[in-house]
Amino acid sequence: RWKTDDPKMIVEAAVNTHVDMIKETRGIPGIQMDRWQEAHTVRHCALSLVGEPIMYPQINELLGELHERKISTFLVTNGQHPKAIEDLVPITQLYVSVDASTPESLEAVDRPLFRDAWDRLKSSLSCLKRKGQRTVARLTVVKGWNSDEIGGYARLIALGHCSLVEVKGVTFCGKSDASNLNMSNTPWHHEVVNFTKILLEELNAIREEGGDDPLPEYDLACEHKHSCSVLLARVDQFAVPDPENPSKRKWKTWIDYDRFQELAARHAADPTFKFGVEDYIADTPDWAVFGADEEGFDPTDNRHRKKKKHPKYAKFDEEGVPTHDTFNEPLPEEDISKLRIQLEEKKRQIGDDVTVTALRGGEKIIDDASLMFRGLVVIR
């Protein structure tokens, strides 16, 4: 029906273009030459942000070409093609985007092409239960659009018994005719954390209901503040007793890529060969575990800030009042009291609760007094 490119040609062109782009970065200030050299060898491929990749008629052949080159495969689908998900060969990690928790909000956020988009999404999530490899329900939180009715998200996730649940704040990329979003629709990391904790409570409630096919246990596994994202993981697939303290859990949410390639090659040679999530897991670094002081930042990397801008305040109390300065030193009580007075004045102006103002054209403006100090910066 459509003219399509050959999968081998697509992979070859993509790899060659990537290498050409990497070569052009040589000489840019701050480039680490060891990583620059390493980047010439493509090891990972994210099939995302290019439309709906699973619609490509030869998607399995394309995935096979990538695996033959020892390139891992991360595929993101919007959950509108359940049959294609069923027919998909084993890949490193399969994501289904869950952008809304009700049929109405799905229509508003995704503007789907199909009239039965809600049913298609539920069918796609149900298909994940039968996939043997890592599956992810990806939730992109957009304040004012899809951040309510968290119980609905939990019920959707329960359909697929997904290996992982990735909750991420939407990234505002500027105004455009194709989007009604603005900067106020982007949540802060602490808001994504709170959203995820409530989602976990809802999943636990469903799990306690039991039934013939009970929901597996999930828990907070990882976070990455820079990406404004939090990860829930199935305990039965990714957690083991900590050898140093058996009463605690040790997470194994990382991927053993070499092992995956071995298993994928065996399956390609013999389709009757099956393998599962636990067959290619690896230890999660301590700095990536939820609650770690590093908040997901790799301590071996140096963080560069634009124009030496740093957050004016490093920590806040539950109301949003700053408690620590830019150097993470405790603020004097007198300063905290003054800041609290400012916050109370702001609340008197706009109210205690989060307010959503719908503008002509569909845009929504979010006002929240508790965030008034969050975006302040200092030059140092």
Average pLDDT, the chain: 92
As a whole number of angstroms, the distance between CA 14 and CA 108 comes to: 34
Q: Is residue 193 within 8 Å of 230, Cβ to Cβ?
A: yes
Classify residue 79 by burial, with Cβ atoms within 10 Å: 0-12, 13-18, 19+. buried
Q: Provide the 3-class DSSP secondary structure of residue 94.
A: strand
Q: What is the mean pLDDT of residues 346-360?
A: 86
Closest CA to 164 of 111, 126, 219: 219
Place of tokens 């305990």: 235
Least confident of 22-26, 105-109, 153-157: 105-109
Place of tokens 């952008």: 99
Tell me the per-residue pLDDT of 158-172, one tens digit each, with 9 for 90 and over.
999 999 999 999 888
Can you tell me the mean pLDDT for 186-212? 94
Rounded to whole angstroms, the Cα distance separating 34 from 80 reads: 41
pLDDT at 303 > cutoff 90: no
Structure tokens belonging to residue 31: 């480039």
Give the per-residue pLDDT at 183.
85
Percent pLDDT > 90 in the chain is 71
Q: How far is CA 184 from CA 158, 188, 228, in A?
A: 30, 10, 15
Strand 239-242, strand 245-251: pairing: antiparallel
- Render pLDDT for 91-138 as a digit per residue (tens, 0 to 9): 999 999 998 888 888 887 778 788 899 999 999 999 999 999 999 999
For 226-263, the pLDDT digits (tens) are: 999 999 999 999 999 988 888 889 999 999 999 999 99
Q: What digits encode the pLDDT tens for the residues 28-42?
A: 888 889 999 999 999
This prediction has a pTM of 0.90
Question: 110: closest CA among 140, 137, 86?
Answer: 140
Distance from C-alpha of 252 to C-alpha of 203, rounded to nearest angstrom: 21
